[in-house]
Amino acid sequence: MTVLQRVKSITHRICEQSKPTRDVYLDHLREAASRKPKRSALACANLAHGFAACSPSDKAALAGDVVPNLGIITSYNDMLSAHQPFETYPQLIKAAAKEAGGVAQVAGGVPAMCDGVTQGQPGMELSLFSRDVIAMATAIGLSHDMFDAAVYLGVCDKIVPGLTIGALTFGHLPAVFIPAGPMTTGLPNDEKAKTRQLYAEGKVGRDELLESESKSYHGPGTCTFYGTANSNQMLMEIMGLHMPGSSFINPGTPLRDALTREAAKRALAITALGNEYTPVGEMIDERTIVNGVVGLHATGGSTNHTMHLVAMAAAAGIKLTWQDISDLSDVVPLLARVYPNGLADVNHFHAAGGMGYIIRELLDAGLLHEDVKTVWGGTEGLRAYTIEPKLGENGTVVREPVAAESADKKVLSTCKQPFQVTGGLKMLKGNLGTAVIKTSAVKADRHIIEAPAIVFDSQAALQDAFKAGKLNRDFVAVVRFQGPRANGMPELHKLTPALGVLQDRGHMVALVTDGRMSGASGKVPAAIHVTPEALDGGIIGKIRDGDVVRLDAEIGTLDVLEDPEVLAARPTPEVDISHNSYGMGRELFAAFRNVVGKAENGASVFG
Binding site listing: 156, 223
DSSP letter, residue 602: T
How far are the Cα atoms of 53, 241, 280, 300, 340 from residue 329, in angstroms, in the given order?
Answer: 51, 23, 27, 10, 19
Residue (of 580, 351, 368, 354) closest to 485 by Cα position: 580
Contacts (Cβ under 8 Å, ≥6 apart) of 74: 86, 89, 90, 106, 108, 109, 110, 153, 154
Strand ranges (E), 330-456: 387-391, 397-401, 425-430, 433-438, 448-456
DSSP letter, residue 426: E
Return the axis-axis angle of helices 189-200 and 495-504, rounded to nearest 10°.
90
Residue 450 · residue 550 · CB < 8 Å: yes
The strand pairing partners of 435, in sequence order, are 428
* R_g over Cα of the chain: 24
The strand pairing partners of 391, in sequence order, are 397
In this structure, is the dihedral angle defined by the CA atoms of residues 165, 169, 170 and 172, taken in order, positive or negative? positive
Residue 290 · residue 124 · CB < 8 Å: no
Give the whole-angstrom CA distance, residue 451 versus residue 473: 10
Which residues are documented as binding site for [4Fe-4S] cluster? 156, 223
Residue 460 · residue 466 · CB < 8 Å: no
Examine residue 340 and say whether the peptide bond preceding it is cis (omega within 30 degrees of 0): yes
What is the rounded end-to-end Cα distance, in angstroms, of the chain? Answer: 36
Give the whole-angstrom CA distance, residue 43 versus residue 69: 17
Q: How many CA atoms lie within 13 A of 600 on its CB side?
A: 17
